[in-house]
């Protein structure tokens, strides 16, 4: 399942089967550890706590990500897994940042990071941060 949701975001998977949310029960424990994983790796940002928990709720509600409820988030948390060695964590964090105003605010770490709705190009106009529309290349590069 790691691979499936990963491929979904990288835009390769087609014909996804949506799993009805009611089939899955996501316990508060699972959600707590998922939130902690976000807070741990992004501790240098001013995250709005309520936003993180709303995001987690929405993330697990989303059909395809619901499967992720089966992932042992607690184990991931205590096994020191992070976005570099777990695709699940990477996806969770990636969707999170994409679903906030972080890129709209030009990655300004002094500003609080607010959740503005799950990243979904079909439902909201939040652009891909790599796009010239959001971040023109001028001003974001300092190399060489």
Partner 1 sequence: MKNDKYDLIVVGTGFASSFFLQKYLAKSKGNKKILVLERGYFYSHAEKLKVRRGESAPDVKYEPKWDSLVENFNPRKDWHFTTGYGGSSNCWWGCTPRFMPSDFKMQSLFGVAQDWPISYDDIEPYYDEAEEIMQISGPDATPFPKKGKYPLPAHKFTKVDEILNKKYGNQYISQPTARASRATANRNACMASSTCGTCPVDAKFSIENSGMTVYQNPQVEIVYGAQVYKLETLDGVARKVCYVKDDKDFSVEGDVIALGANPFFNTNILLNSGDTNKFTGKGFGEQLGIQVLIYLDNLSNAGGSTWVNANGYMLYDGKHRKDYAACLIEVNNAPFIRFEKDKWLNIASFRLVFEDLPEDKNYITTSANKLKPAVHYEGRSDYAEKAFANAKKQLPEILSCLPVERLKYLDPFPNEGHIIGGTRMSANAETGVVDKHLVHHKYRNVFVLGAGSFTTYSAANPSLTLSALSLFAADKMF
Choose between 7 and 54: whose C-beta lies nearer to partner 1. Answer: 7
Pull the structure tokens for residue 132: 């010239």
Q: Is 141 in the site for partner 1 (CB under 8 A)?
A: yes
Q: State the minimum distance, in angstroms, from the CB of residue 83 to partner 1.
A: 5
Indicate which single residue of 35, 56, 71, 98 sits in contact with partner 1 (rule: CB under 8 A): 98
- Residue with tokens 């619901």, as numbered in its chain: 66
Residues 50-79 that bind partner 1 (CB under 8 A): none
Question: Which region among 11-19, 28-36, 51-59, 73-81 touches partner 1 (by CB under 8 A)?
Answer: 11-19
User: Token pair of 125, please?
Assistant: 């106009």
Distances (CA, A) of 39 to 43, 87, 133: 5, 17, 29
Residue 93 as a binder of partner 1 (CB under 8 A): the answer is yes
Q: What is the distance between the alpha carbons of residues 130 and 128, in angstroms, rounded to a whole number? A: 5
List the structure tokens of 104. 């709209």
Residue nearer to partner 1 on the CB measure, 28 or 125: 125
Angstrom CA distances, 33 to 3, 40, 52, 109, 131, stand at 21, 10, 12, 24, 32
Contacts with partner 1 by CB under 8 A lie at 3, 7, 9-12, 14-15, 17, 41-42, 44, 83, 93-94, 97-98, 103, 107, 109, 121-123, 127-138, 140-144
């Amino acid at each position: 399942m790691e691979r499936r949701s990963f491929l979904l975001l990288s835009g390769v998977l087609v014909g996804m089967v949506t799993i009805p949310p009611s089939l899955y029960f996501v316990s508060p424990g699972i959600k707590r550890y998922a939130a902690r994983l976000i807070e741990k790796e992004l501790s240098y940002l001013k995250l709005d706590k309520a936003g993180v928990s709303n995001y987690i709720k929405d993330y697990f509600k989303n059909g395809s990500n619901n499967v992720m409820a089966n992932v042992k988030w607690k184990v991931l948390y205590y096994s020191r897994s992070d976005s570099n060695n777990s695709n699940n964590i990477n996806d969770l964090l990636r969707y999170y940042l994409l679903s906030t105003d972080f890129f709209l605010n030009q990655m300004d770490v002094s500003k609080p990071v607010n959740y503005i709705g799950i990243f979904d190009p079909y439902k909201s106009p939040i652009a891909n941060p790599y796009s010239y529309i959001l971040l023109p290349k001028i001003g974001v590069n300092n190399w060489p």
